[in-house]
Structure formats: structure tokens, C-alpha cells
Structure 1
Amino acid sequence: MLNINRRLLLGMAAGSAAARFGVARAAEMRPHEKELYEAAKTEGQVTWYTGQYQAEPSEAIGRGFTERYPGITVNVVRSTSQVAFQRLSQDMRAGVAQCDVFSSTDHSHAAFLKQEDRLMPYRPRNAEGLIKAAKQAGDPDGYFQVTYLGLFLMGRRTDQVSEADAPASWKDLLEPKWRGKIAVGHPGYSGAITSWCLAMRKLYGWEYFKALEKNQPQIGRSSADPVTLLNAGERTVGAAIPSATTLLSISRGNPIKLIYPTDGTLMVPAPSGALKNAPHPSAAKLFMEFVTSPTYYEVTRPFFSESLRPEVAPPPGSRPLDEVAMISADPAELERDGQEVKELWRDTFGV
């Protein structure tokens, strides 16, 4: 199996087991938060470039921040992770400072920004309360922190694909019977799909994708686009789809069921970091405190996001993490080979 991050898996499992009670959203601010809040109120806003969540939860996070810290609005700039990074790169080339905090599902983005001295060396105090594995997955020098854990797997339309006929593994997607029935995202837009490509290449070689192309998958941009196609009935199987978005869709009555691949569910630890040239530096630090706080995971829980705080219960309907076989893409491999697999994808699929 590919690079199973056991520390993160065990830490998440321990966090889930320890989650028994919610915490009040209006919990008393810690002294360092109060100090930052007073400074951030004079700035009045914070701009967040994010590819970690879809639009609805991203806006909910913005509202949750303002509810906890009245007088400071969040300018949510939501896109896929690759598009968010391209936008930030354009800002940097133009010498324009617009983004305060950047969040991506592609670890190589944070590594590159750190290498280019573009991130603020700020370790949020609230990160002390994250589960051990999440703290270990953050930058050791404090330039970015893992704030989101994405699980990416498969899904099926229950009214069109029976459990007996459904693919059980990633490799099952190569069977001819799935021709014209699969939906998937694009590594040129989604950091999670880039990780998935690297994971599949490590398991099965790039021949896997050449075989998948023969089944003519419908290719979107975001990893969540296939969920939309499943909801609409345009495709019957989704590949490398996010568990959170899918569980939210299921909760709204859509006939979809998650499939945990026998060859491993993809785990993507996703980083957030404040920019060194943030136009609202105090608000940027306060936002980093927020995204590592219990309140943040309370806000995201209704959207079925995994909790990285032991005080906040895991999302309803999710499988216990200690029961899930997981695979992941190595951060160094992402940084080194991410662009290569994007080019290979375009050569193979023509998009």
C-alpha cells in the first residue's frame, strides 16, 4: 500500500473516540485572541483565498468568524485549490497584496510559498488544542497549519448501481461496464485530484489512467463536481469524490452511497497559512486562530467535515476512521511531481 500515514490515522481515530461533547460557539476568548481581536477590529476585514471547501460551507465559515469576532468581515474568495493558487501567484507577480490567508488541498502550495518567503511565521496558539496528528502534520517552523482533512473515495447512484454490482476498488473502475458512467475531477484545478493521481500512479502506474480513459469518464474541475453529476443522474459512479460533500448531498435526500475502496481511501491533509504581506495582518492571525479553534469545527461539522479538535464530535454518517484503510500522497512527491501528473493527465485525457 502507498505511504499510509499511520500517525495521522491513529491521531484522528483517537480524536474521534474522545469527541463526546460539543463546545459553545460563544466560548470565552482566550487572552491572546482578545488582544488580536482588538487589533483586528481596526482593520475591519480579512480576505481568504480557499480551495478547501465548497461555496456554501466557505460562506458559513466566514459568517461564523464574524459571529465570534463582530466588526470583522470575511471576504471569501472560493475556487478550486489550483485556481486559488493561480490567483495568488498573479497577485504576487503584480506586486499586489490582496490575500490575507490562503487555504489549499495541495500541500505543495504551502511548501512553495514557504520556500519563496511568502508566508508569515505565525503558529496559532489555538493549534495547541488540535489532535496530535494534526499538529504533527503542520509546518515545524510555524508557517502553515493543517486545518482540514479531506477523505476522497468513490460513490454510486443507489437507484442505478446495486451494491453487488458496484466497484469495490479503484482498479474496478477500469472494467468495461463502467464505460460512459464515471465522473471525476481534474488535477489541473483540484489539489485533491493531483494527490489522487499520484496515489494511483504509485499503486498501479500511469497505465491505470490510460485504461481509465478508455471508459470515457466525464471530467469536471473540482473533486466535488462528480457529486453534482451523480445528483443530476448524468453519471452513476463518482471517482475521488470528497466524503464531506457527498455526505451532505446524501443528507439532502440524494440517492448516493459512499464506497470505501478496498485498495485505500485517499487522505489529504490540507494546509492554511497567513501571507507575509497580508494587508490585514492582525485579522490574518486572528483568522488562523479561528480555523484551529473548536468553534471552527463546530461551524464545519454540519457540512460533514472531519473534526481535528477532540471536543467536537465527528460528522454524522461517517465511518470511524480506525476502520478505514487509507493512502496518501507524500508532500515531497506532490511538490516534486505534481506538475508532471497534470501534464500527463492532459496528454492522456485531452483536457
Structure 2
Amino acid sequence: MLAEENEFRRGGLTMISQSSIKQTDRSALYFALLLYLALGGGALAASVPGHLANDPVTKAVGAEVMSAAIKEGRVVWYAGDNTGEFFKAGGKEAFEKRFGIKIEPVTGRLREQTDRLRAEHAARRIVADLFDGVDQYHMELYRLGVLEKYTPPAPALAEYDKSVFTKEPVGYWTPLFISAQALIVNTNMVKKEDYPKSYFDILNPKWKGRVATRDPRSAGGGGWQFLQIYDNPKMGLDYIRKLKEIVDPFIIPGGSRDMSEAILTGRFALGFSGRPEFLTDVPKGSPLAYLVPKEGVTWLPHSTALIKNAPHPNAAKVAMTWFYEIPNLQLLAKEGGRMIPHPKIKMPIPEMELSNNIMMEGIPAAHLADPGFFFKEMEKIFGRR
């Protein structure tokens, strides 16, 4: 007996027989299994409310993210007015009712939203969790290290037409919709046979004093439309100079609605910065028409992004994934009034269908990321702001 005991002692340590180890392992596994079952299939699953256990968003992001999102309880969402209209039309209420997570929207001009994000990053006091805006602002924020690399695991993204979206850098923002612009005319002031079929048709003295545009000297609808014209090899800076020389378009201060009103009320007969969704904002039969010249529409991508060091990152991931569900995209198309390049999304009017619009070649990424040089060129032509 003493000899057997010595065989199980090495260097002052008592050795345990192999059969004892197997017995101990079986007991530990048995009690672990009982604990797992008692918790309803694991602690993570138990931390997600029953009505969300099989929710498509929970399955997409994972129970751990959903659990953490519910604990965070809110998401601060910086966005433009388009998303703001979506929130007002029931989007915000639907999200909060479904997940029990509050959306705190901060909507307004995207330039101001971007400056706010820059200030938060510089002060290291981040308030925003996610941002949706045009890709130029995403590029600006990316260069400053404001964005977190994240793509929501939303099934709808697989069917997006990504040809109209910025491709570099990959993974820091996710395509949502495009802002398309062409021309609008007052149909009481311009006969149908006189509608310009090309941008070059406008380079005619008969249009002098009758044309308006949003400001091409700064970020905004006017700036982006003229930048894409500048980058078009068949138009370029020469076209813009001739437009100023021959037509001298009046610069409308303010936003896109101000542009629409200026044409609708007859202040001007024709306007650049025309959006197809203007037609949804006016009564049927209003003297307003949307025109796509043969060169095509100018457009700007609009995407969503997760903010680096966001206070509520998991709630933001849940919100982003949810946002790309088909019913939400359909509501955004209806209320936000932008083209969503997804085959299952029906736009409010035919003029807003992507398939009914010829698309100009996109703005080069380098120009979209740093358009300051272009705005200086526009000041040389149109005068200083």
C-alpha cells in the first residue's frame, strides 16, 4: 500500500489516477449541462428578451450585440433632413417599440453635422453613435480618424447597385441612397418643344436672366452638381465658363427647397440643382417639370457610418442593420425623397426610378474627398462668396 501511494507522489505533489480524472470530468460536464439548461440555453440567449430571440436583426448581429445594445438603451443618430422625415413618418417609433432602444436624432444641414463630429473628435468627447450623410463628408471624417470600420450584416445590401457608390476605402461607410440632380423648368414659361435636351442647349443668349442655380462655390447641391460637370470630359471648366458668360445664372441662396420655389413661382424659367423629388412636394398639375439632359444626371452618394469610440456602439450596430430592412428603405424612399438603388424599392414617381435616369460618370474619389480646389475655381468664375 505504501509503495502504491509513493507511485502517485512526485516532487511533493499527490498524483490522481486516470480513472479519477475521467470521473471528475464527467461530473463537471454534467453539472455544466444542468446550468446551461437552467439558463435557457446559455447566458447570452437569456439576456435577450424572448420576443427578440428570433428577431432577424438579433440573428444578423448576434445575441451578444443585441444584449449589449438593450443595456445601452439609446443611440444618438446624426443625419440630414431626409432621415429626419423618415423618423417623423414612424421610423423612430417603430424602432423604439420593437427593440426598446431610444433613438435620439440630431438632424439638419450635413455640413454642420460634420463640423460637430469633428469638434467632438478633437475634444475627445464623442456624443454621436452613427452618422448618415453624403460620402464627401464621410471621406473628410475618415481622414481624421472619426469613423469605425463596420458594415452592417443586412441581407438587403447584397442586392444594392453599388456601381454608383464610392468604393474606397472599403468598409468604413455603407451605401444608403443617392442624391440625383438635373434640371427643372416652369412649364408655364417654357414650351415643351423648347425644353433643353442637352446641357449645351442652355448656352444660348435666349436663356440669359431666366436661369438659376444653387451656389456652386461651396459644399451643397450646387457645388456637387457643378463639380460633376467639371469632371465630365465633354463639359468641364470650359462649359461652366461659357454658362457664366452667356447666361449668367442667378445664384439662389439656401437649400434645394428654395431652388424649387424659385422656379415654381416663376422667378426663373429654368433651374440647375433640380431634383426629381421636387415633383412629389407640389400639388398635381403644378407648373414644374424635371428634365434629364442627354449627358445624364449628376449625383452624390449618401451612406451610413459607425462613429469611432461611440458611447453606444452596439445600439448603433442594431440601428444600422435594422435601417436596411426593406420596409424601412421603402419608407425612406417615400418620405426622404431620394433614389435607393435596390430592385425591391418602389420609388414614389417614375422620375425617381434609377432605371429611368441616365447617370453621369461619378465624381472621382480624390475630388470628392478634397473639393476645395474646385470651389476656388468657381469663385474665380462667379465671384467671391
User: How high is the TM-score relative to the length of structure 1?
Assistant: 0.79
Trace 1:72-221 onto structure 2 (pairs within 5 A): 72-79=102-109, 81-105=110-134, 107-126=135-154, 129-134=157-162, 137=165, 141-187=170-216, 190-203=219-232, 204-214=235-245, 215-221=248-254
Tell me how far 1:281 sits from its aligned partner. Answer: 1.3
Pairwise CA RMSD: 3.0
Tell me how far 1:96 sits from its aligned partner. Answer: 2.9
Tell me how far 1:239 sits from its aligned partner. Answer: 0.7
1:318 equivalenced with 2:318 (yes/no): no
Tell me how far 1:278 sits from its aligned partner. Answer: 1.7
Tell me how far 1:108 sits from its aligned partner. Answer: 3.1
Alignment length (residue pairs): 321
Tell me how far 1:34 sits from its aligned partner. Answer: 7.4
1:284 matched residue in structure 2: 316
Q: Is the 8 A contact 1:100 1:281 kept in 2?
A: yes
1:232 equivalenced with 2:265 (yes/no): yes
Tell me how far 1:120 sits from its aligned partner. Answer: 1.4
Distance change (3 Å), C-alpha of 1:155 and 1:174: same
Distance change (3 Å), C-alpha of 1:43 and 1:189: farther
- Tell me, in whole angstroms, the C-alpha distance in 1 between the residues paired with 2:103 and 2:79: 16
Question: Identity of paired residues, percent?
Answer: 22
- Tell me, in whole angstroms, the C-alpha distance in 2 between the residues paired with 1:166 and 1:312: 30
1:7 matched residue in structure 2: none
- Tell me, in whole angstroms, the C-alpha distance in 2 between the residues paired with 1:283 and 1:108: 25
Trace 1:330-341 onto structure 2 (pairs within 5 A): 330-336=364-370, 338-341=371-374
Worse-matched range after superposition: 253-262 or 304-313: 304-313
Distance change (3 Å), C-alpha of 1:34 and 1:193: farther
SS in 2 for 1:40: helix
Worse-matched range after superposition: 271-280 or 225-234: 225-234
Tell me how far 1:249 sits from its aligned partner. Answer: 2.0
Q: Is the 8 A contact 1:190 1:223 kept in 2?
A: no
Q: What does the per-residue CA deviation read over 1:4-48, in whole Å, with 9 as the maximum and x for residues that have no partner?
A: xxxxxxxxxxxxxxxxxxxxxxx9533235744543333333222
Higher relative contact order (Cα pairs below 8 Å, separated by 6+ residues): 1
SS in 1 for 2:249: coil
Q: Is the 8 A contact 1:154 1:258 kept in 2?
A: yes
- Tell me, in whole angstroms, the C-alpha distance in 2 between the residues paired with 1:100 and 1:193: 29
User: How high is the TM-score relative to the length of structure 2?
Assistant: 0.72
Q: Is the 8 A contact 1:101 1:284 kept in 2?
A: yes
- Tell me, in whole angstroms, the C-alpha distance in 1 between the residues paired with 2:356 and 2:131: 32
1:263 matched residue in structure 2: 295
SS in 2 for 1:151: strand
- Tell me, in whole angstroms, the C-alpha distance in 1 between the residues paired with 2:146 and 2:290: 38
Q: Which runs of 5+ in 1 are unaligned?
A: 1-26
1:10 matched residue in structure 2: none
Larger Rg belongs to: 2
- Tell me, in whole angstroms, the C-alpha distance in 2 between the residues paired with 1:125 and 1:260: 35
Tell me how far 1:259 sits from its aligned partner. Answer: 0.2
Tell me how far 1:289 sits from its aligned partner. Answer: 1.1
2:37 matched residue in structure 1: none
Q: Is the 8 A contact 1:307 1:315 kept in 2?
A: no
Distance change (3 Å), C-alpha of 1:57 and 1:212: farther
